[in-house]
Structure 1
Amino acid sequence: MTNKRQSPTGILGFPVAPLTDKGKLDLNGLEANIDFLLDQGLTSIFVACGAGELHAINTAEYHAMVELAVEKTKGKVPLYTGVGGNITAALEQAKISEELGADGYLILPPYLIDPSQEGLYNYLSEIISSTDLNAIVYNRDNCIMTADTLGRLCELPQLVGFKDGVGNMETVAEFTHLFGDRLEWINGMPLAEVTMGAYLNLGFNTYSSAISNYIPHISKQYFEALKNGDKKVEKEIYGDVILPIHSIRKQKKGYAVSLIKAGMNIIGLPVTTNVRAPIAPVEEAHYAQLKVIIEKALEKYPAKVTTKN
């Protein structure tokens, strides 16, 4: 094994797939997105995953996104890619990730098929075993694992993490009890800050943060309040920022992706609000609502400015 068998921890950064006004992949926008996340102290970068519209990019675009991310993150933070969909594509993405020098990948659900547990094990184990890179499985949609399936996957040394996007507290409590520190436990619910308090009590010390693409310092401040038991700060940020954004996100399917781009656009990052079908762009009214929330949040919770000598 050539890789350190350890999953990234803390707040994980998930860049988007920026698109031009004509719908073409904008690598300059992606570079700015990654630079912003690194400057703000995110502990890792996960490129071409759900937020990066893995479902809608072609192989050439995937290669370009991973190549750029490897260049930007090398020696700074771990880089993970997204792989998934049909098994042939997933294996090709895993190979590209390995060849370009990524540290690992997050396995997204298989395409269309609602598999049996045996079929799910075969899908995940084949991808995990196809390279020596670290792998994280994503429990969501048509990739919901039982304890037996996860236990079998834990026999593979490449598996380092379990990301949950279902929110079944009974199940995740069982998993953390059974497998303990064998895996890193990652909260992957849409707008993970909403549920992180509950997950933290179950042994989840890591989460993927959508809002870190535009207000990372607030996500970090909220997480620190949770860990330190600062109920006052936790409650204020939850009420001022997290729940209001979450209420917009729930207005339309796909906002888990398109609302991120809207937030980035609002703070001035060079990212348009364009997304690829079947995701729909944020409606003007919701964009305006998000803008008000962000402006008020930045006024009450300003980012610290560091001076370089």
Structure 2
Amino acid sequence: MMNRYAPTGISGFPVTPLNENGTIDEKALIANIEFLLAEGLESIFIACGAGEFHNLSTEEFESMVKLAKSVVHEKVPLYTGVGGNITEAVKKAQVSEKHGADGYLILPPYLIDGEQEGIYEYYKAVITSTDLNSILYQRANAVLKADTLERLLNFPQVVGVKDGIGNMELNVELTQRFGSRVGWLNGMPLAEVTMPAYAPLGFNCYSSAISNYIPHISRKFYQALQDGDQQTVNEIYDTVILPINRIRNKRKGYAVALIKAGMEIVGLPVTNTVRPPVTPVEQDHYEELKKVLKKALDKYPPNWKVTI
């Protein structure tokens, strides 16, 4: 019997480490996943936005799902990223089921802005292609209105809604109407920035980019938020989250590239290498991030060895 619950807590989104020749570095990917598990993240989402989903072939996607399943091995829920054109989305959903994932995050369809009926049919095709749990991603050209979400919740596979647009008026409407019928995940870029606004609405899960390299600080932040420890929340905002977010906003594509740069800076086995159209973090910004991380790790030392 499938567990029909959305993940809660902090979700880990591994990157896709690349070798010098541009192929996937599987050893580095294993290390990335093992690090997230060791740091207590409550779920793993493989081959999603941070994993450069848009640039993975079906063969690469399948190899990553198989590898992630072997590493996660039922320790926490394992989700994949499916989306793009409908044929590929369904195929990747079925690959996810074949290799034992718990579910998938449905990313937007390719380019086209569809009406609500078209978005409904797109989601329906993916959702009904397997029995796996589905999380619907409010992002880009796929934003569900309340009546459309109501129809999709008739499918038992739909366990969660992840918001990546930041329309708080819509978020209030949806959470008030559907409440605990579905799980609510904050998927805003650098979700720690907005989590204080999301938590009161019932969002009890978020995807943490910085958890790839400073997971203990994301955990400390979220715990302080839950405990009502506003002083600690403010201190982490000032020392870590807002400075990183300012760097992240300096270039398009840094939502992915800055994660890899941060991992490299703290000594994790990944290089600052991405696939076009994303570009690597520029050297000045890399050095700026290094200074932020040194200050952050001096103030909040991890329980693992790091030298900057």
Normalising by structure 2, what TM-score? 0.98
Which position in structure 1 is the counterpart of 2:209?
210
Unaligned runs of at least 5 residues, structure 2: none
Asked if 1:178 corresponds to 2:181, the answer is no
The offset of 1:118, in angstroms, is 0.4
Which position in structure 2 is the counterpart of 1:63?
62
The offset of 1:202, in angstroms, is 1.1
AA of the residue aligned to 2:196 = G
The offset of 1:31, in angstroms, is 0.3
Distance 2:226 2:303 in 1: 20
The offset of 1:305, in angstroms, is 5.6
Aligned pairs (5 A) from 1:1-309? 2-304=1-303
Give the match's secondary structure for 1:41.
coil
Give the match's secondary structure for 2:112.
coil
Distance 2:71 2:106 in 1: 22
Distance 1:236 1:18 in 2: 32
Distance 1:76 1:196 in 2: 25
Distance 2:26 2:2 in 1: 28
AA of the residue aligned to 2:289 = L
Distance 1:88 1:189 in 2: 27
Distance 2:6 2:205 in 1: 10
The offset of 1:304, in angstroms, is 3.2
Distance 1:36 1:145 in 2: 34
Unaligned runs of at least 5 residues, structure 1: none
Distance 1:253 1:157 in 2: 37
Aligned-residue CA RMSD in angstroms? 0.9
The offset of 1:291, in angstroms, is 0.6
Could you report, residue by residue, the CA deviation over 1:51-110 in whole angstroms, capped at 9, with x for unpaired residues?
A: 011100111110110000000111211100000000000001001000000000000000
Give the match's secondary structure for 1:178.
helix
Distance 1:115 1:65 in 2: 30
Distance 1:135 1:147 in 2: 17
How many residue pairs were aligned?
A: 305
Could you report, residue by residue, the CA deviation over 1:171-215 in whole angstroms, capped at 9, with x for unpaired residues?
A: 101100000001110000000000000001111111000000000
Distance 2:284 2:105 in 1: 34
AA of the residue aligned to 1:186 = L
AA of the residue aligned to 1:269 = L
Distance 1:135 1:207 in 2: 16
The offset of 1:280, in angstroms, is 1.2
AA of the residue aligned to 1:185 = W
Give the match's secondary structure for 1:110.
coil
